[in-house]
Amino acid sequence: MWNPDSFMEMLYANSDPARKENSQLSRPGSKELLKERLRSSLTLGSFDDMRSPLEPVILERVEYEDYIRERVDIGTVTGLRMPVYILIPKKPAASGKLPGMLALHGHGYGSREVVGLAEDGTIQEKKGGHNSFALELMKQGHIVAAPEMIGLGDRRLIRDTKPGKERSSCVSLTGQLMMFGMSLAGLRVFEALRALDYLATRPEVNPGQIGCMGFSGGGLVAAYASALDERIRAAVLCAFTNTFKGSILSINHCIDNFIPGVLDYAELPDLIGLIAPRPLFIESGENDPIFPAASVREAVEIVQNVYLEENAASVLQYDIFPGVHEVSGRAAYPWLLSTWRGNKSAVQ
């Protein structure tokens, strides 16, 4: 009787006309409006005003038989620096340069989880949901940059690093940043783009072939970064694509997923559609408990319509694989290689 469920349904329904009004604009006008509003919701302007020089410092360099792993410390905004793992295949590229990829981790113990390391920095013996996807991208012939997301791993608040405490600082940072009119999601997107800035300076990287792959919370960052920065020429979104109504609003999620005011102008597939006409691959587990497959399919259909409208249907692919909340890559990795080769319809 006093539960607020119907009130929340009413709010969603009341905001629907505004979202539909935006979708009725011409595609170029709609895209620019959505991008501007997304930048505003993510408070990217606040972080841009605080932009600091990269000033990279190599913290470690470890050589393996087939690749080199570096950890580089870069500046992002005033008062913050961010460690980034760089994976470099030893096999030289025929052209002298290799495609670059941002590898954006989700919740867990941070960037070590995607580069094949355990939480203590030793070689990972058992893969989790991330499935060491940065390492797999390197094996496919990419120079990979895997930044440590703020609020996770080595970048938690000191109070959250004590034994028995939360494994993330997402809740604390979201609340504290909100008090300053800032967004944690926005800070993560901004810092991912600073990692992109650094990756583009690497002499081994072909700047015309830089992509982005993100899992779960990293999928959120990959989606919004790719939507807003066209230097990202191809994107792979793992275990994130859905509708707000089908996942974020209906299932308990970390607070870092919530963007102030976003439902006043867009649903999640509308924002993912901003990546068009650049190549996009979507993957999700059939039995993912927090990003339900039915809503994945609903979102994919909306994104497909956007790509059709932009005459780019052939560069959008998806795979709903037998699995849960995890990275598969069974079709995404070959799709990426075919994308860089220019044969964008090779993976069906």
Give the tens place of pLDDT for each residue, 50-94: 999 999 999 999 999 999 999 999 999 999 999 999 999 998 766
Does the structure show a pLDDT above 90 at 22? no
> What one-letter code names the amino acid at 151?
G
1-27 mean pLDDT: 86
Does the structure show a pLDDT above 50 at 126? yes
* % of the chain surpassing 90 pLDDT: 88
**Cβ–Cβ contacts within 10 Å for residue 46, how many?**
17
| Closest-CA residue to 70 (of 56, 81, 80, 50) | 56
Please, which residues have CB within 8 angstroms of residue 338's CB and are 6 or more apart in sequence?
A: 344, 346, 347
List C-alpha distances in Å: 250 to 106, 159, 184, 270, 296: 20, 31, 21, 19, 14
The Cα–Cα gap between 222 and 214 comes to 5
The Cα–Cα gap between 147 and 165 comes to 23
pLDDT in tens, 140-152: 999 999 999 999 9
- What pLDDT, on the 0 to 100 scale, is given for residue 29? 76
Residue 325 is classified by DSSP as: S
- What pLDDT, on the 0 to 100 scale, is given for residue 163? 79
Token pair of 67 as six digits? 């690749």
In which band, very low, low, confident or very high, does the pLDDT at 210 lie, cut at 50, 70 and 90?
A: very high
- What pLDDT, on the 0 to 100 scale, is given for residue 345? 34
In this prediction the pTM is 0.95
pLDDT in tens, 240-278: 999 999 999 999 999 999 999 999 999 999 999 999 999
290-297 mean pLDDT: 97
Q: Where are the alpha helices (DSSP H) in 202-292?
A: 217-228, 268-272
The Cα–Cα gap between 65 and 97 comes to 20
Residue 147 is classified by DSSP as: E
